[in-house]
Amino acid sequence: MITTMVRPTPTAKNDKAEKADQIQKLFDEGNKLYNQGKIKAALDFYEEVLKADPEFVKAWNNKGISLYRLHNYGEARKALETAVAKSPGLTAPWHNLGMVLLALDQPREALKAFDVALGIRPKYPEALCNKGNALYLIWQMDKHRESPGIYEEILNTMPDYGAEYEDGLKEALDAYDEALKIKPDYAEACYAKGVVLLNICHYNEALEAYNEALRIKPDFEDAWHNKGATLWHMHELDEAEKCFKKARELHDASTPSG
């Protein structure tokens, strides 16, 4: 007697697990493309994930940061606000929302987002660094509002002028220092610290910050440029030109030909 094997009917539980596995594969493929620098292609995968599962918070986060990388800040903000609304206890969406708000010239709102991220994860070097950036931008905006044009006039006409560490600046510099305690090889935090110090004409300290950024990341184009600007203000014109030349070389090497 010949018997036939009857396949069991898949249960709802099996269907759900299979669907979840397929969604995870889509998400993983999006991440793979994102890490390869293929941001638009990655975004398509995140969109597919969210069509299948609108509650997939990490996909909302990654959609947001992808849109940020593509300079679509308005849509990036919507995606990240969705992520934090669905899962307010995750740090990455709050940090990424802060970055988008900085790009939208809303440093006060960005600062709130970074503070939420740091409330969840106090030792978060990227959030600390970007908190410093937000504080510095707020300080600049307040200076311009109090005396429009005066701040630039001081810097342009008195190259040896050195601003005191006012509250906003001290908080910004403290945030960079705290980030560097946690992540000593954080070139971007060294660079950001240098930007603040250069713009308030603390040239020796700015030079130290740029040198440290370049020790960590020798091909850091912006750091070479700003080191040159710092040396120029210090009247070290030959050394400044060497730095500007290095920055140009790095820029040309990173720019596609044709």
pLDDT exceeds cutoff 70 at 152: no
Architecture of domain 123-258: Alpha Horseshoe (1.25)
pLDDT digits (tens, 9 = 90+) for 57-67: 999 999 999 99
DSSP 3-state of 89: coil
Tell me if 18-122 shares its fold with 123-258.
yes
Sign of the alpha-carbon dihedral angle for 208, 210, 213, 217: negative
The average confidence (pLDDT) of the chain is 89
pLDDT exceeds cutoff 60 at 9: no
> Any idea where the domains of the chain sit in the sequence?
18-122, 123-258
The amino acid that residue 193 corresponds to is K
Q: Determine whether 118 is exposed, middle or buried from the number of CB atoms within 10 Å of its CB (0-12, 13-18, 19+).
A: buried
The band of 74, judged by pLDDT with boundaries at 50, 70 and 90, is very high
Superfamily of domain 18-122: Tetratricopeptide repeat domain (1.25.40.10)
Q: Determine whether 216 is exposed, middle or buried from the number of CB atoms within 10 Å of its CB (0-12, 13-18, 19+).
A: middle
pLDDT digits (tens, 9 = 90+) for 125-140: 999 999 999 999 999 8
